[in-house]
Structure 1
């Protein structure tokens, strides 16, 4: 079991966070943003940054090369649709994409928006981790969580069109 600290400060114990999210055992803040046969997209549960989306595979796999052709097409299509929605409804101009193969759970991609406040932590990829920690530790107040929920709602509406 792993202990996960959520954006609101609560902790949960799960064997696989992605399985818990995909199967509805943990409700991501604001609900599911988008779901397909192969993927599940939701606001990151640990970092309260509006538009920070996790795109996770529904089945256990570790790396990009394990995706079937159908999953690869679905993955890039969903990734592009979410990115377009981030730009259109949230005005997000830049995004960092992260995917790693040493994860203990499902293949997933982080879509981390770049906001002006993040430049206080630097101007490169090295600044992302301190910005994420700042968000978790300093931005988990009700006002910011409300803006996160509003962003989720806006993205979800846009993606359902």
Structure 2
């Protein structure tokens, strides 16, 4: 078991944070954005960037090639659906996608929107980590938190359709 402190300050003890989130043992702050039989999408509000989504498999696997055919189809359909709603509802023009296999969590993809303010950290993939750290350390104002929560609600409402 690992002790993990969530963005709201609550400490939980879990084997796998992703399993706890996708299994409903821990409710992500802002709630679940969309859920299917195989996947669960939420925003990690520890990085308060409007429209940032984490799409996680419900099954504990590490690699893309471990997905079943049904899971692969669900993954690409859900990823595309979320992206379309990010563009249409939140007016997000660009998104960086990340998935890595050397994580302590299981298979998940980060969908990180690209905003104008982020260019001060660079224009390439290398700028993403500094952007995430900047958001976590400097963007926790009540006004920004309200914007993030509003975006979560807008995405959730649109993805229910």
User: Scaled by the length of structure 2, what TM-score is found?
Assistant: 0.94
- CA RMSD in angstroms comes to 1.4
SS for the counterpart of 1:32 is: coil
Contact 1:28 1:43 in 2 (8 A): yes
Residue pairs, 1:8-157, within 5 angstroms: 8=8, 11-157=11-157
SS for the counterpart of 1:117 is: helix
* Cα drift, residue 9 of structure 1: 5.2
* Cα drift, residue 27 of structure 1: 1.7
- Give the 3 Å change call, closer, same or farther, for CA 135–10 of structure 1 in structure 2: farther
User: Scaled by the length of structure 1, what TM-score is found?
Assistant: 0.94
- Give the 3 Å change call, closer, same or farther, for CA 40–10 of structure 1 in structure 2: same
SS for the counterpart of 1:48 is: coil
* Cα drift, residue 142 of structure 1: 1.7
SS for the counterpart of 2:33 is: strand
Contact 1:32 1:42 in 2 (8 A): yes
- Give the 3 Å change call, closer, same or farther, for CA 47–10 of structure 1 in structure 2: farther
CA distance in 2, matches of 1:33, 1:148: 12
- Give the 3 Å change call, closer, same or farther, for CA 5–134 of structure 1 in structure 2: farther
- Give the 3 Å change call, closer, same or farther, for CA 96–16 of structure 1 in structure 2: same
Moved more, 29-38 or 41-50: 41-50
SS for the counterpart of 1:111 is: strand
- Give the 3 Å change call, closer, same or farther, for CA 93–9 of structure 1 in structure 2: farther
